[in-house]
């Protein structure tokens, strides 16, 4: 594309974004340079600021600019309940329900031996310390219902039960608003087993 | 997502990229912050450099860091042929064929009245000046075969023919390697009309 190394460098840098191939990267570069140079400057600044300032909450591991995140500091939250999620996006999804008033532990990933992600990489030792601090009464496992999320939940559950903690898992079942005809078999089977 | 304005600012900035919604933007931000901070810094730098240094070739309008791009400066190119394309990516596609040794004019867009893009926005006056410089013998229209690309080609063709220039268009026809059964009717009809 043209003769500019600067442009090629930009396309290469955009390709490091997840889900962006060489064609999308070219289209993004073209769009920014042709139609939105202020957007390019704004994105550069936002990236630089975020990469420099954002770190992990020392208590729950989520992204924050401070030592401890606002959720962990919030005095109105129920400190006896600790909800374990994979990512800040999952935490945000739970927060939007307004159904949970406890605290979180954000793994920032999931166990994935094939990708070389073990217990250390998702801070399990820290989670176990936090869960056994004497205040936490119940640990709610809200990792995703994927193979790796389930495996992660299983490992955490076993370890915490061995420490005598009350461990629960988000209910599996038929999604609200769905018709049985179109729900997959595994989900219906789980919903039958967990009927109430 | 968490409590950081810096993070939200990054997500907003990423959403300005074409084809990126709030979920993709969140995933990109999470990936960069969790797994690829050097990538975030590299992208910030590449954006800043590109947005600052890249401008348009004064002859053909493509992206370049210099006054005139390398293609326009290349003494081995045939200056009697001028190929009109919509974007640098289209130019790159033509260059990869090694089938064209003339020069280019890159519109950096296409006529699109609905989006408010008129002749001035794609530099038609400059194209007409360039095409009538006495050196150019043939103008090859290689805009896309979309409604807007065809309309753009039509407008340019009419204007250049009125100036007495030899104007051609890329051949329409059946793509190499394709079976007639699966080619759309319009393409087959064009291939019949343009048979040789």
Nearest to B63 among A33, A43, A109 (CB): A33
Interface test with B, best of A1, A2, A108 (most B CBs within 10 A): A2
pLDDT at A46: 95
Given a cut of 50, is residue A2 above it in pLDDT? no
Given a cut of 90, is residue B47 above it in pLDDT? yes
Q: What mean pLDDT do residues B24-50 have? A: 94
Given a cut of 90, is residue B38 above it in pLDDT? yes
| DSSP letter, residue B184 | -
pLDDT at A97: 87
Subunit contact A13:B48, Cβ cutoff 8 A: no
Contacts of B188 (CB under 8 A, 6+ apart): B174, B180
A24 CB neighbours in chain B (<8 A) are 19
pTM of the model: 0.80
Confidence class for position A185, pLDDT limits 50, 70, 90: confident
Q: What are the residue ranges of helices labelled H in A55-138?
A: 70-73, 88-97, 124-131
pLDDT at B1: 43
Q: How far is B80 from chain A (nearest CA, A)?
A: 20
Task: Give yes or no for a contact between B42 and A16, defined as CB atoms under 8 angstroms apart.
Answer: yes
- A102-106 and A78-85 as β-strands: parallel, antiparallel, unpaired? parallel
Which residues 82-141 on chain A approach chain B with CB closer than 8 angstroms?
87-89, 91-92, 108-109
Contacts of A156 (CB under 8 A, 6+ apart): A84, A124, A127, A139, A141, A143, A167
The answer to whether the Cα torsion of B158, B160, B166, B167 is positive or negative is negative
Query: Could you read off the pLDDT of B75-118 as tens digits, one per residue?
Result: 999 999 999 999 998 998 888 888 899 999 999 999 998 888 89
Identify the helix (H) or strand (E) that includes residue B119: none
Enter the tokens of residue A108. Answer: 């920032």
Task: Give yes or no for a contact between A85 and A142, defined as CB atoms under 8 angstroms apart.
Answer: yes
Interface test with A, best of B8, B12, B15, B17 (most A CBs within 10 A): B17
Subunit contact B92:A17, Cβ cutoff 8 A: no
Confidence class for position A96, pLDDT limits 50, 70, 90: confident
At residue A84, the 3 state secondary structure works out as strand
CB contact A147 to B (< 8 Å): no
Query: Could you read off the pLDDT of B127-162 as tens digits, one per residue?
Result: 999 999 999 999 999 999 999 999 999 999 999 999
Phi, psi (degrees; rounded to nearest 5) at A134: 90, -20
pLDDT at B3: 56
The label of the residue with tokens 């190929």 reads B83
How far is A77 from B78, CA to CA, in rounded Å?
73
The residues that bridge with A140 in the sheet, in sequence order, are: A83, A168
Across chain A, mean pLDDT equals: 91
Q: How far is A15 from chain B (nearest CA, A)?
A: 9
Task: With a threshold of 0.95, tell me whether the complex ipTM lies above it.
Answer: no
Find the distance separating the first CA and the last CA of chain A, reported in whole Å. Answer: 61
- Give chain B's length: 196
pLDDT at A71: 92
Q: What mean pLDDT do residues A82-110 have? A: 91
B30 CB neighbours in chain A (<8 A) are 87-89
Nearest to A43 among B16, B62, B65 (CB): B16
pLDDT at A172: 85
Structure-model confidence comparison of residues B191 and A66, the more confident one: A66
CB contact A165 to B (< 8 Å): no
Q: How far is B193 from chain A (nearest CA, A)?
A: 33
Phi, psi (degrees; rounded to nearest 5) at A112: -155, 80
Q: What mean pLDDT do residues B164-173 have? A: 90
Interface test with A, best of B51, B69, B96 (most A CBs within 10 A): B51
Q: How far is A129 from chain B (nearest CA, A)?
A: 22
pLDDT at A3: 56
How far is B194 from B188, CA to CA, in rounded Å?
10
Number of A/B CB contacts below 8 angstroms equals 188
Enter the tokens of residue B147. Answer: 């409604």
Task: Give yes or no for a contact between B63 and A23, defined as CB atoms under 8 angstroms apart.
Answer: no
Find the angle CA(A91)-CA(A97)-CA(A98) to the nearest 5 degrees: 95
Measuring CA to CA, which residue among A145, A109, A113, A150 is closest to residue A127? Answer: A109
Query: Could you read off the pLDDT of A40-51 as tens digits, one per residue?
Result: 999 999 999 999
Distances in Å between the Cα of B93 and the Cα atoms of A77, A111, B144, B147 are 58, 43, 12, 20
Query: Could you read off the pLDDT of A107-144 as tens digits, one per residue?
Result: 999 999 888 889 988 989 999 999 999 999 999 999 99
């Amino acid at each position: 594309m043209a003769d500019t190394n600067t442009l090629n460098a930009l396309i290469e840098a955009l390709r490091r974004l997840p889900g962006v191939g060489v064609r999308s990267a070219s289209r993004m570069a073209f769009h920014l340079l042709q139609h939105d140079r202020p957007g390019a400057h704004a994105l550069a600044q936002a990236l630089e600021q975020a990469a420099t300032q954002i770190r992990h909450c020392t208590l729950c591991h989520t992204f924050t600019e401070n030592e401890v995140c606002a959720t962990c500091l919030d005095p109105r939250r129920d400190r006896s309940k600790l909800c374990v999620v994979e990512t800040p996006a999952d935490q945000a999804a739970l927060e939007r329900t307004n159904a949970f008033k406890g605290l979180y532990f954000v793994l920032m990933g999931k166990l994935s031996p094939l990708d070389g992600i073990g217990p250390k990489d998702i801070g399990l030792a820290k989670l176990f310390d936090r869960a056994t601090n004497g205040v936490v009464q119940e640990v709610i496992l809200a990792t995703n219902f994927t193979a790796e999320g389930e495996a992660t939940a299983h490992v955490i559950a076993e370890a915490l039960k061995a420490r005598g903690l009350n461990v629960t898992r988000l209910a599996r079942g038929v999604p609200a608003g769905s018709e049985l005809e179109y729900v997959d078999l595994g989900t219906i089977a789980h919903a039958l087993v967990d009927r109430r």
